[in-house]
Amino acid sequence: MLILQAERDALLKPLLAVTGIVERRHTLPILSNVLIEKKGGQVGFLATDLEIQITTASSDELPGEDFRLTTSAKKLQDILRAIPGNATVTLEQLDGGRLVLKAGKSRFNLQTLPAEDFPLLSVGSAGESSFTLSQRELKRLISQVQYAMAVQDIRYYLNGLLMQTDGNQVRLVATDGHRLAFASADVAATLPKAEVILPRKTIIELYKLLQDSDDEIKIEVLANQVRFSFGATVIISKVVDGKFPDYNRVIPLDNDKIFLIERLEFLHALQRAAILANEKFRGVRLVLAPGKMSILCTNSEQEEAEEELEIAFQGGTLEIGFNINYLLDVLTNLPADTLQLAFGDSSRSALFTIPDVSNFKYIVMPMRI
pLDDT of residue 183: 98
Compute CA distances 22 → 18, 32, 108, 118, whole Å. Answer: 8, 6, 21, 13
Cα 251 to Cα 49, 194, 343, 362, 363: the distances in Å are 36, 21, 12, 9, 7
What domains lie within the chain, and their CATH numbers?
A: 1-115 (3.10.150.10), 127-247 (3.10.150.10), 255-362 (3.10.150.10)
Task: Place 123 in a pLDDT band, splitting at 50, 70 and 90.
Answer: confident
pLDDT over 90 (residue 260): yes
> For residue 313, how far is the Cα from the chain centroid?
36
3-state secondary structure 197-239: EEEHHHHHHHHHHCCCCCCEEEEEEECCEEEEEECCEEEEEEC
Nearest to 29 by CA among 72, 75, 59: 72
Nearest in space to 165 (alpha carbons), one of 205, 127, 204: 127
CA distance 19 to 219: 22
Taking the C-alpha atoms of residue 274 and residue 123, their distance in angstroms, rounded to an integer, is 47
pLDDT for position 85: 87
Per-residue pLDDT tens digits for 133-176: 999 999 999 999 999 999 999 999 999 999 999 999 999 999 99
Q: Across residues 23-48, what is the average pLDDT? A: 90
The continuous run of DSSP H or E covering 68 comes out as: strand 67-72
pLDDT > 90? residue 63? no
pLDDT confidence tier of residue 81, bands split at 50, 70 and 90: very high
Mean residue pLDDT across the chain: 94
pTM score of the predicted model: 0.93
pLDDT value of residue 122: 87
Query: Is 80 exceeded by the pLDDT of residue 26?
Result: no
Mean pLDDT in residue range 196-200: 97
Q: Identify the pLDDT of residue 127.
A: 66
pLDDT at 64 over 90: no
Of 278, 348, 334, 275, the closest CA to residue 307 belongs to 275
Residue 223 has a pLDDT of: 83
Separation between Cα atoms, residue 340 and residue 174, nearest integer Å: 20
Q: What is the pLDDT of residue 186?
A: 95
pLDDT tier for residue 256 given thresholds of 50, 70 and 90: very high
Whether 124 has a pLDDT exceeding 90, the answer reads no
Percent of the residues in the chain that have a pLDDT greater than 90, as a whole number? 87
